[in-house]
Amino acid sequence: MAIHSINVRNQFRGRVKEILIGPVVSEIEVETALGLVTSVITTRSINELGLQVGTEVLALVKSTEVSIAKV
Amino acid sequence: MAIHSINVRNQFRGRVKEILIGPVVSEIEVETALGLVTSVITTRSINELGLQVGTEVLALVKSTEVSIAKV
Amino acid sequence: MAIHSINVRNQFRGRVKEILIGPVVSEIEVETALGLVTSVITTRSINELGLQVGTEVLALVKSTEVSIAKV
Amino acid sequence: MAIHSINVRNQFRGRVKEILIGPVVSEIEVETALGLVTSVITTRSINELGLQVGTEVLALVKSTEVSIAKV
Amino acid sequence: MAIHSINVRNQFRGRVKEILIGPVVSEIEVETALGLVTSVITTRSINELGLQVGTEVLALVKSTEVSIAKV
Amino acid sequence: MAIHSINVRNQFRGRVKEILIGPVVSEIEVETALGLVTSVITTRSINELGLQVGTEVLALVKSTEVSIAKV
């Protein structure tokens, strides 16, 4: 089902650069304008979405999951 | 206590652009190279860190919190 | 930007039954086939999505956020 | 230790339908009235809870982890 | 419904030391053997659980939510 | 990059007691004053941080990730 819009405020567009496949979860590196964004999702989702190197994706992060540090 | 390094792979450097203060939690907009990153943290943390508009910060996101969508 | 599909495996379709507005975050009750699903998102997102009582929505939960208990 | 009640507002009762075991984390499919709910937890927890196909469980989700999308 | 056991590996027993009530979410300080543990939950949950200063509680954290830093 | 301070209110100091390595994510047991704290992070992060049994670490948990149960 197509989603018209989502509440997740942090949406970073990019392309899949690398996928590290595991038996249950996998790691995806997405190349965005900001640099690499890393995601861990289920391996089933990778298959269902048909993700591979080069696929155009959105990396999404809910605001309550973002921590802030002073440097 | 200063932290030498952290496992969080997604670290976006930027400056606080706006703070919306609430009684318990507050919303921070951070301007990064990737665009705006929004974070919701406790208002106490904002005071303890001394965050204000212009403060240089890191927005951090654990990889397991990043979702992937196809566009 | 419309999203074609998303990795989030848990998607519960329903209608907004109630919104409790706060200054920074708000609580939404969604009536689904499973019963009520409660979500806390930023009040800005509620406004941007134009959510109100009766709006048809999807409640989404990443698999890594689901805990399991024995009863 | 038995838990009397918990703050987690989203509690979906069901039965384990399938377990995909991994070396560190595993995926559990829970059949509920709403359909399948997927959870990723540590494999150690699966063993400690004695989860197997058919076990009656609660799938729990904290409200701050629920995203909302418009369809 | 009483919960027999839960997959959440991190369970810290303590007493509520302070509650900061907000319109939607509230902050709870729990005094444990490890020091203070801070939680943000919905204000409705606080009322439903009947939490007040002195109440004996468990603070629970899913393993996938714990970050690791080197000091 | 060294981090001066971070908004995460829950910081538990301890030593790595055990590491269970997986192909994508790994489990770390940290021995703290409060007892064991378990964390699941990417195996890459473990390598990049150079974590091993005995390493002194901070386990960090964002307040919005802490649930509260009555016992």
ipTM: 0.94
Which tokens sit at E46?
């606080």
Contact, F39 vs F16, CB < 8 A? Answer: no
Q: Contact A1/C60, CB-based, under 8 Å? A: no
Which tokens sit at F2?
């060294």
Counting as contact any 3 or more CB pairs under 8 A, the partners of B are A, C, E, F
Contact, E69 vs F8, CB < 8 A? Answer: no
Place of tokens 């995806």: A28
Pick the more confident residue, C2 or D69.
D69
CATH class of this structure's domain A10-63? mainly beta
pLDDT at E17: 98
Rounded Cα distance between A13 and B69, Å, is 9
Banded pLDDT at A1 (limits 50, 70, 90): low
What stretch of H or E contains F48? helix F43-49
Pick the more confident residue, A27 or A2.
A27
Helix (H, G, I), strand (E, B) or coil at E16: strand
Give the chain B residue whose CA is nearest to the CA of E66: B62
Closest CA to F12 of E41, E33, A44: E33
Banded pLDDT at F53 (limits 50, 70, 90): very high
Rounded Cα distance between C54 and F44, Å, is 45
Residue among F7, F8, F49 minimizing CB distance to B5: F49
- Report the amino acid identity of residue D33: A
Give the chain F residue whose CA is nearest to the CA of D40: F40
Cα torsion at F57, F63, F65, F66 (round to 10°)? Answer: 90
Contact, B44 vs E27, CB < 8 A? Answer: yes
Q: In what order do the strands lie in the sheet with F10-20?
A: B5-6, E67-70, F56-61, F10-20, F25-32, F35-42
The domain made up of F10-65 is a member of CATH 1.10.10.60: no
> In chain F, pLDDT over 90 holds for what percent of residues?
82
Give the chain B residue whose CA is nearest to the CA of F6: B49
The answer to whether residue C67 scores a pLDDT higher than 80 is yes
Angstroms from B24 CA to nearest CA on chain C: 9
Q: D40-49: b or e for each residue (b if 16 or more CB lie within 10 Å)?
A: bbbbbbbeeb
Angstroms from F8 CA to nearest CA on chain A: 7
Cα torsion at B18, B19, B20, B23 (round to 10°)? Answer: 180
* C-proximal residues of D, 39-58, CB under 8 Å: 39-41, 45, 49-51, 55-58
| E18-28 pLDDT tens trace | 999 999 999 99
Closest CA to E48 of D5, F66, C68, C25: D5
Angstroms from D69 CA to nearest CA on chain E: 20
How many residue pairs from chains B and F have C-beta atoms closer than 8 A? 55
Q: Contact E68/B23, CB-based, under 8 Å? A: no
Question: What stretches of F1-71 adopt beta strand conformation (E)?
Answer: 5-6, 10-20, 25-32, 35-42, 56-61, 67-70
Question: Phi, psi (5° rounding) for residue A41?
Answer: -130, 170
Angstroms from D42 CA to nearest CA on chain C: 10
Within chain C, residue ranges assigned H as helices are: 43-49
Residue among C21, C22, C67 minimizing CB distance to E6: C67
DSSP secondary structure letter of residue C38: E
Which tokens sit at B60?
């951090």
pLDDT at F33: 83
Give the chain E residue whose CA is nearest to the CA of D7: E45
All structural domains of chain D with their residue ranges: 10-65
Is F2 near chain D, with CB under 8 Å? no
Cα torsion at F2, B14, D66, E24 (round to 10°)? Answer: 100
Query: Which residues of chain D, if any, have pLDDT below 50?
Result: none
pLDDT at E1: 56
How many residue pairs from chains C and E have C-beta atoms closer than 8 A? 41
| C8-50 pLDDT tens trace | 889 999 999 999 999 999 999 999 987 899 999 999 999 999 9
Q: Contact A2/C1, CB-based, under 8 Å? A: no
Contact, A31 vs A17, CB < 8 A? Answer: yes
Q: Which of B47, B52, B68, B71 to mutate to test the interface with A (most CBs of A within 10 A)?
A: B68
Rounded Cα distance between B48 and F6, Å, is 9
Rounded Cα distance between E24 and E20, Å, is 11
Q: Of the CATH numbers 3.40.50.1820, 2.30.40.10, 2.40.50.100, 3.30.70.260, which one belongs to the domain with range B10-61?
A: 2.40.50.100
Is C68 near chain B, with CB under 8 Å? no
Angstroms from F63 CA to nearest CA on chain E: 5
Q: Which of A19, A21, A25 to mutate to test the interface with F (most CBs of F within 10 A)?
A: A25
pLDDT at E55: 97
Contact residues on chain A for F4, CB-CB shorter than 8 A = 69-71
User: Cα dist. F36→E70, F15, F59 in Å?
Assistant: 17, 10, 10
Counting as contact any 3 or more CB pairs under 8 A, the partners of C are A, B, D, E
Contact residues on chain C for B64, CB-CB shorter than 8 A = 62, 64
